[in-house]
Structure 1
Amino acid sequence: MAITIISFGYLHGPTPAADFAQDLRSFRDPHVDPAMRQLTGRDQAVITKVLGTPGVPAVINTLALACAARSGYGDRPVTAAVGCAGGRHRSVVVINTVARLLREQGYDVTVQHRDLARPVVTR
């Protein structure tokens, strides 16, 4: 069963159509650190910061389990949307990590980063 996971930023538009969505805005945003603001969830410093945030590893495991469980029902693909404020830091790290975990278990996973290429949001 195919699984699609989409990262997005709430400040760039509505939640993408999905079977379920996860809001990461309650977790510390790397954007507040000027040294990380222009980086993305593909940069090691951001990855380390997000994965070291209390609660994030549990969210990653829960998302991976939910995607895997949902893929076992019916014959249509599963779509999950994971959002943060700008869609460049937390959501990118989380979905890339979830995708890796699912692929290691043999799932066919597509990753889409809706807002990764957008400019940093001014707040």
Structure 2
Amino acid sequence: MEFLLITGMSGAGKSLALNYFEDMGFFCVDNLPPALISKFAELCLQSDLEKIALVSDIRGREFFNELFKELERIENMNLDYDILFLEASDDVLIRRYKESRRRHPLDEEGRILDAIERERTLLEELRGRATRIIDTGELEISKLKEELNQLFLSGKDKDLLHLSLISFGFKYGIPRDADLVMDVRFLPNPYYVESLRKKTGNDQEVRDYVLKWPLTDKFYNKFFDLINFLLPEYKKEGKSHLSIAIGCTGGKHRSVTTVIKLAEFLAEQDFNINLEHRDIEK
């Protein structure tokens, strides 16, 4: 089991980092009170979870004093863990708080700098025990993600782009989380063939019908070439998950066929592919 504690300065990007770890396949928990860490670790050991990341920091207030005792309890469980400590300079943290207009957890009198200095003192020992320390002050979002990938992903998974390929029917609405949307309602429609109407793109007869037309072949060549061009560019920008939604009228025939063919086209490349036929049963 991989057990990661994310901590550090308030405003240094811990919640953002946690989102990235979730994209990497970690089971993630934000703002867990330090006094509950060992109990949480016990539950994880009893589960089939392989990668866990949690954020525990000064927001725990008086419970934060329990952190080192909790880490000792984890060690007694023979559970290996890493500590990722995120920090930034005072000027950067002050700027971020002013931009977000949020209040520092230790700010009681409106003096952000005093709160930051107090927090540095409280976290000094924990910083010294950290496995990894990252200064996020000068890092762009994509660079932070790239650094986390390099540190905490191994082998092939480091550069793996996770693709969700979704077929849908426009009559039921476009998937709200789609990054790219393609409309294939111009392709010949099996719905108007009586023997195919009640079948779906999962049936070979329907796929054969959609694929037999020169228009389909011409479109697939152009569309798949575009996807082939775009995916490496998204990876360069640090994107770890991309959702491609392909729609026809009802989401049963042409869109399902196209999603299946796109998955086959991408199968031999380094992508983690998940298929979803959202409206196939409607």
Given the two structures, how large is their TM-score scaled by the length of structure 2? Answer: 0.39
Aligned to 2:36: none
What is the CA distance between 1:52 and its match in structure 2? Answer: 1.4
CA contact (8 A) 1:68 1:102 kept: no
Is residue 46 of structure 1 aligned with residue 46 of structure 2?
no
Correspondent of 2:258 among 88, 94, 119: 94
Aligned to 1:18: 178
Paired positions, count: 117
Which runs of 5 or more structure 1 residues have no equivalent in the other structure?
119-123
For 1:93, the aligned partner's letter is T
SS at match of 2:231: helix
Bigger helix share: 2
C-alpha distance in structure 1 between counterparts of 2:240 and 2:254, whole Å: 28
What is the CA distance between 1:66 and its match in structure 2? Answer: 5.2
Correspondent of 2:228 among 65, 68, 81: 65
Higher relative contact order (CA 8 A, sep 6+): 1
Larger radius of gyration: 2
Displacement over 6 Å in runs of 4+: none
What is the CA distance between 1:58 and its match in structure 2? Answer: 3.7
CA contact (8 A) 1:67 1:78 kept: no
Which runs of 5 or more structure 2 residues have no equivalent in the other structure?
1-160
What is the CA distance between 1:65 and its match in structure 2? Answer: 1.9
C-alpha distance in structure 1 between counterparts of 2:251 and 2:229, whole Å: 21
Correspondent of 1:31 among 187, 191, 197: 191
CA contact (8 A) 1:7 1:115 kept: yes
C-alpha distance in structure 1 between counterparts of 2:256 and 2:240, whole Å: 24
Decide whether aligned partners of structure 1 residues 96 and 24 sit closer, same or farther in structure 2, where only a CA change above 3 A counts: same
Please, what is the CA RMSD of the aligned residues?
1.7
C-alpha distance in structure 2 between counterparts of 1:117 and 1:38, whole Å: 10
